[in-house]
């Protein structure tokens, strides 16, 4: 028996594209709303959706619902983006210029964002989510979430060290699919 998971990333937001946005509740931009509609037009219909409770994912969900993509919705806080703490809304350049903790980020597994979430906690909540999804008798499910969440879940599913999460570029309003088997997973599509 296999399970097909369609990972959907929300559309472009009003936040600057080069800034870290995790727990900040930003809205979709006009372009993001259009992207969400375009994404909905390409998706299979009548699937259950597990959705991050963040505003940007809920706005994307609205387009999916308007197009008949989603049958039932469950909101799950385990698939919200990581909390970047004091680094929220800052660019990598801004962080590099003012915070010595930037070097500690290289140790990824043991890193805690200043005033924010630890990577270990983030990964643990995503593993808990994945374990629960796999335990339910279903053939397909939509997971509407965030770029960092999708990258990390792909690493967990494919058996990669989570430090490799940046190997995957997950574009806004994209659709990526994995098939889970009892012995592991296969990435069948990225950024459709």
Q: In whole angstroms, how far apart are CA 77 and each of 53, 54, 80, 93, 151? A: 6, 8, 5, 29, 17
pLDDT of residue 49: 98
Domain ranges of the chain: 3-189
State the residue for tokens 């309003």: 173
State the residue for tokens 């801004």: 94
CB 72, CB 79: distance < 8 Å? no
Other Cβ atoms less than 10 A from the Cβ of 170: the count is: 20
pTM of this prediction exceeds 0.85: yes
Rounded CA-CA distance 85/65 in Å is 32
For residue 130, the SS3 value is helix
Q: What is the helix (H) or strand (E) element at residue 33, kind and residue range? A: helix 30-42
pLDDT of residue 47: 94
Q: Tell me if the domain spanning 3-189 has CATH number 2.60.40.10.
A: no
Determine the distance from the C-alpha atom of residue 89 to the mean position of all C-alpha atoms in its chain, rounded to a whole number: 18
CA dihedral over 114, 19, 152, 50, signed as positive or negative: positive
Q: Kindly give the confidence (pLDDT) of every residue in the chain, 192 residues in length, as a single tens digit, with 9 standing for 90 and above.
A: 899 999 999 999 999 999 999 999 999 999 999 999 999 999 999 999 999 999 999 999 999 999 999 999 999 999 999 999 999 999 989 988 877 778 888 788 899 999 999 999 999 999 999 999 999 988 999 999 999 999 999 999 999 999 999 899 999 999 999 999 988 899 999 999
Rounded CA-CA distance 160/136 in Å is 24
pLDDT of residue 98: 79
H-assigned helices in 43-170: 55-66, 92-98, 119-135, 147-158
pLDDT of residue 116: 97
Rounded CA-CA distance 19/16 in Å is 6
């Amino acid at each position: 028996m296999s399970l097909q998971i369609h990972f959907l990333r929300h559309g472009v937001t009003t936040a600057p594209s080069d800034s870290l946005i995790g727990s900040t509740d930003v809205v979709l931009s006009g372009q993001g709303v259009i992207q969400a509609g375009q994404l909905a037009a390409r998706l299979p219909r009548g699937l259950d959706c597990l959705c991050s409770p963040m505003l940007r994912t809920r706005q994307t969900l609205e387009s999916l619902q308007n197009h008949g993509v989603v049958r039932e919705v469950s909101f799950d806080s385990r698939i919200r983006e990581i909390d970047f703490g004091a680094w929220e809304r800052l660019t990598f350049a801004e962080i590099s210029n003012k915070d010595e903790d930037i070097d500690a980020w290289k140790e990824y597994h043991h890193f805690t964002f200043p005033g924010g979430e630890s990577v270990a906690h983030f990964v643990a909540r995503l593993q808990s989510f994945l374990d629960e999804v796999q335990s339910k008798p279903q053939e397909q499910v939509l997971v509407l979430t965030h770029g960092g969440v999708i990258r990390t879940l792909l690493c967990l599913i494919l058996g990669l060290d989570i430090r490799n999460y940046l190997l995957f570029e997950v574009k806004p309003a994209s659709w990526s699919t994995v098939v889970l088997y009892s012995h592991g997973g296969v990435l069948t599509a990225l950024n459709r």
